[in-house]
């Protein structure tokens, strides 16, 4: 009798265990994510904008300290210390000399690039030959930054320390562009940028903040110098949308692999391979508005109507 009762108890326990197993959900196996490379769009000859951009604003009519690229332009070099960066004339001598070499390559490229439009552009930048084109400045503020909040500080330094009108008379110059050079590390440093009349009517001093090194790491090449100089004469960036350039045109430049120097720059330290396009020439005031600008509803050149 005891054996029979024990056998019945074992059967009941086995049935209960099987029922519990039957109610437990099977575990979900992880699904492997398949990584796919984004497709590279094939260059196309014609790409219509997906939607009409907003009507562009009128460009400002005044041209700032760099009015017309044809003529003689002084490039004033200012080697600046700020709250986080410093120049040493001895240990940084090679980097200081490199800035002048990059200016040489950039200005020679620009001079050649505008010749097909029947104009002559001359740049004076050699502070070894002309020492009054070089300055050293010390700032207590942080000037190595991605925004232009220190523009008034830098423009104020220029007004107080650089005899611009005297320099223009001495060199019979038409334009002045001020390059602030910063001895930056790679980490945490933004790309170079410019600020002037292209950005605001209140910014009549055309200045460039050239950070020697930037995150990437990147050693800024001569093409970056030429790119920033073109900003001083009113040519906008083409690699991001702004007041003159709609996103549709930025996308078009990407799809067609544009080599316009305002869309992309090359990293070579001894040459510039980018192109000064007809669109850039229009924004420089060297040629009539191209059909491309109307087709994409790009903003007006500040020289429109002159």
Using alpha carbons, select from 224, 258, 188 the residue that is nearest to residue 41: 258
Q: Is residue 169 part of a domain?
A: yes
Q: Is residue 265 part of a domain?
A: yes
Q: Is residue 29 part of a domain?
A: no
* pLDDT at residue 306, rounded to an integer: 86
**In sequence order, which residues have a C-beta less than 8 Å from that of residue 152 and are 6 or more positions away?**
none
Give the CA distances from residue 241 to residues 146, 155, 192, 253, in Å, rounded to whole numbers and listed in that order.
17, 27, 18, 12
* pLDDT at residue 201, rounded to an integer: 84
H/E segment holding residue 213: strand 213-214
Q: Is residue 26 part of a domain?
A: no
Please give the Cα distance from 197 to 299 (Å, whole number): 15
* pLDDT at residue 62, rounded to an integer: 66
CB 53 within 8 A of CB 247: yes
Q: Is residue 25 part of a domain?
A: no
What pTM, to 2 d.p., does this model score? 0.80
What's 233's domain CATH number? 3.40.390
Provide the number of structural domains found in the chain.
Answer: 1
CB 195 within 8 A of CB 155: no
CB 58 within 8 A of CB 300: yes
Q: Is residue 46 part of a domain?
A: no
Please give the Cα distance from 121 to 116 (Å, whole number): 12
Q: Is residue 1 part of a domain?
A: no
For 72-83, write each residue's pLDDT tens digit: 999 999 999 999
Which residues, given as ranges, of the chain have pLDDT below 50?
1-61
Instruction: Give, as one character, the DSSP assignment of residue 157.
Output: H
Q: Where in the sequence is the domain holding 173, given as residue range(s)?
A: 71-295
Burial 87-102 (b: 16+ CB within 10 A, else e): beeeeeeebbebbbeb
**Terminal Cα-to-Cα distance of the chain (whole angstroms):** 117
Q: Is residue 179 part of a domain?
A: yes
């Amino acid at each position: 009798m005891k054996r029979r009762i024990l056998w019945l108890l074992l059967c009941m326990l086995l049935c209960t265990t099987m029922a519990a197993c039957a109610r437990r959900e099977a575990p979900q196996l992880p699904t492997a994510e398949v990584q796919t490379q984004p497709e590279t769009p094939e260059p196309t000859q014609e790409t219509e904008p997906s939607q009409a951009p907003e009507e562009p604003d009128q460009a400002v009519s005044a041209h700032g300290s760099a009015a017309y690229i044809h003529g003689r332009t002084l490039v004033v070099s200012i080697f600046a210390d700020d709250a986080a960066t410093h120049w040493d004339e001895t240990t940084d001598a090679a980097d200081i000399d490199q800035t002048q070499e990059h200016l040489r390559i950039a200005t020679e490229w620009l001079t050649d690039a505008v010749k097909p439009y029947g104009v002559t552009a001359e740049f004076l930048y050699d502070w070894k030959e002309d020492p009054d084109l070089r300055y050293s400045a010390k700032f207590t503020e942080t000037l190595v930054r991605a925004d232009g909040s220190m523009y008034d500080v830098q423009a104020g330094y220029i007004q107080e320390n650089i005899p611009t009108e005297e320099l223009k008379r001495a060199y019979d110059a038409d334009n002045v562009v001020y390059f602030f050079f910063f001895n930056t590390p790679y980490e945490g440093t933004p790309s170079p940028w410019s600020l002037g009349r292209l950005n605001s009517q209140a910014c009549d001093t055309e200045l460039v903040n050239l950070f020697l090194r930037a995150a990437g790491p990147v050693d800024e090449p001569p093409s970056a110098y030429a790119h920033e100089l073109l900003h001083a004469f009113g040519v906008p960036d083409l690699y991001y949308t702004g007041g003159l350039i709609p996103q549709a045109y930025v996308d078009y430049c990407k799809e067609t692999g544009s080599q316009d120097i305002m869309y992309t720059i090359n990293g070579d330290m001894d040459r510039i391979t980018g192109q000064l396009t007809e669109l850039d020439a229009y924004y420089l005031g060297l040629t009539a508005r191209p059909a491309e600008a109307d087709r994409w509803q790009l903003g007006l050149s500040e020289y429109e109507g002159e």
